[in-house]
Amino acid sequence: MKRRLAGLLLGLIVLVADQASKYWVLHGANLTNGHILNILPVLDFVLVWNHGITFGMLNGLGGIGWVVLAIVALAVVSGLTLWLWNAEKFVTTLAIGAIAGGAIGNVADRLRYGAVVDFIEAHMGAYSFYVFNVGDSAIVCGVAVLMAESLFRKTPSPASGGPSPLQQSGGGDRKAP
């Protein structure tokens, strides 16, 4: 139960941080009229309305596109919630919570504004990376943790009494003709 609560709590923290930062960008940072706020030599805050999905993909879906994307995102969040509830590892629940919190923040933007508020721009000299937000960062970090957890997951080896990969797939008991 503690792992579920931790995942849900992290999702809530990400959601609040995401929405609070976007509120500040829209109502306190004076970025709505094209201003750029220089944070570091490689980091600026600049307001961008993202009508697509991650990195602006599917940006040309038209007027109904934001509704379609919001419905798909809500379905994904529902699946993530089910996964979080059934996850056995603490780190998995945290990663899923971060992903869900970021996704819910972006869905809230779509429902409120018809687009996602992006404002963090990382750049190196004249080369600019994508403009993103706190929720996007949480989604990327959560996915990275899930990938690392999957890559480095320890499975029982045959030497320790666990099944071999062939036996796990059902192919270990087959006999040659």
Domain ranges of the chain: 2-152
Mean pLDDT of the chain: 83
pLDDT tens-digit map of 89-142? 899 999 999 999 999 999 899 889 888 999 999 999 889 888 999 999 999 999
Provide the 10 A C-beta neighbour count for residue 1. Answer: 5
Maximal CA-CA distance, the chain: 75
At 41, is the secondary structure helix, strand, or coil? coil
Catalytic residue among 18, 109, 136, 173: 136
Counting Cα atoms < 13 Å in the Cβ hemisphere of 127 gives 1
Residue 167 has pLDDT above 80, yes or no: no
Provide the 10 A C-beta neighbour count for residue 116. Answer: 28
Catalytic residue among 18, 44, 118, 173: 118
Residue 44 bridge partners (DSSP): 38, 121
Q: Is 109 among the residues known to form the active site?
A: no
What's the confidence (pLDDT) of residue 101? 95
- The pTM assigned to this predicted structure is 0.77
Residue type present at position 78? S
Q: Is 18 among the residues known to form the active site?
A: no
Residue 40 bridge partners (DSSP): 43
pLDDT tens-digit map of 9-42? 999 999 999 999 999 999 988 888 788 999 999 9
